[in-house]
Structure 1
């Protein structure tokens, strides 16, 4: 007798923007279209990761195609298309990467819903401690692309290199974020410099609101 199973549509990976570990690109190998990256997972536990799983790398959702070494993996391999390389930043040799495995339904949502689809590349305009204490909070100011600026709101959420952050102030295309010591110590954001590029993903709710408004007005 044939066994009928209900259709289960593919589920798009989602993330929270809470960084689990900082990894590093170990190897970049060219492909016919794009590159293949071997990424050391740092403190990210790969024992429950299988081929086909998604891992956000600096906010970019990438699919695991291999785990190394077999049995007790400490690194994973991903294929990156030319389109992804064109639209993002940070996937270079020896580059530090914020890493997060895809959410499960039972996981806590400590940040905000993140898709892993980078909307644009911003530029760091200011990065310095807020006081004379370099071990305290730091102020990060980023200039967003013109197309993304309307979606960034004071006290709203934004993802910077995969990290869920709260916008402190907005002025034109620039927005500022206060980074606490815990965030600096547990992400790659501490290594940013002025004029450095960063991956930005706007709040998914803002994205859908814009689509709804543009559709109803057309």
Structure 2
């Protein structure tokens, strides 16, 4: 589990095509404290550390993950948001994030709003129903509050700190962001589905 509070920005330093795709990430973590088999959220996608060294770690990415996320567009030099998994007793600063990406959201526009930036996004059609005004959403691993919703889009406000300390400032209209819906919304939708089936 994660919080959606980004602690580091890493850089994809190597991509190798084998049975799966191995990606090596340069990171500012103390890698002595990261175990092989540990989970790290890479722009919102929970990945397992399979190798490591001073200032870097490697993960294996399956074809399924590449098909459901924006990892297929990553290249050597791509900057990504990093968050290590929660430990018992850690502060929950964002919201509970699983690191299981639900789909993609297209960045439609970026507009300045005071010292902040207003982003409008168009999620995959199957995710629209899970987005609610003042609810939570995770974009490229970042825990955000939804400001407004329409039939096909939603908006979030990015404060200066988040803009500067994450990869959002590198993104532009047309880019695809990894999206994870609020876990509570997912379970509520499932309960409604089960209730409807029972009433058929």
Structure 1 length normalisation: TM-score?
0.87
> Aligned residue for 2:67?
86
Which of 1 and 2 has greater Rg? 1
1:57 aligns with 2:42: yes
Q: Secondary structure at the match of 2:172?
A: coil
Give 5+ residue unaligned stretches, structure 1.
1-13
Alignment match of 2:96 (pick from 113, 122, 129): 113
1:126 deviates by 0.6
- Bigger fraction of residues in strand: 2
More helix as a share of residues: 2
**Structure 1 residue 143 displacement after superposition:** 0.3
Distance 2:32 2:124 in 1: 38
Q: In the TM superposition, what are the counterparts of 1:54-203 in structure 2 within 5 Å?
A: 54-68=39-53, 73-90=54-71, 91-131=74-114, 136-203=115-182
Q: Please state how far the C-alpha of 1:46 moved relative to its aligned partner.
A: 2.5
Q: Take 1:45 and 1:175, find their aligned partners in 2: how far apart are those partners?
A: 37
Runs of at least 4 residues off by over 2 Å: 43-47, 90-93
Unaligned runs of 5+ in 2: none
2:24 is equivalent to residue 24 of structure 1: no
Write the deviation string for residues 112-145 of structure 1: whole angstroms up to 9, x where unpaired: 00000000111000112114xxxx2011110011
* CA root-mean-square deviation: 1.0
Count of residues in Structure 1 that have an aligned counterpart in Structure 2: 195
Question: Could you say what secondary structure the match of 2:82 adopts?
Answer: strand
Distance 1:79 1:89 in 2: 15
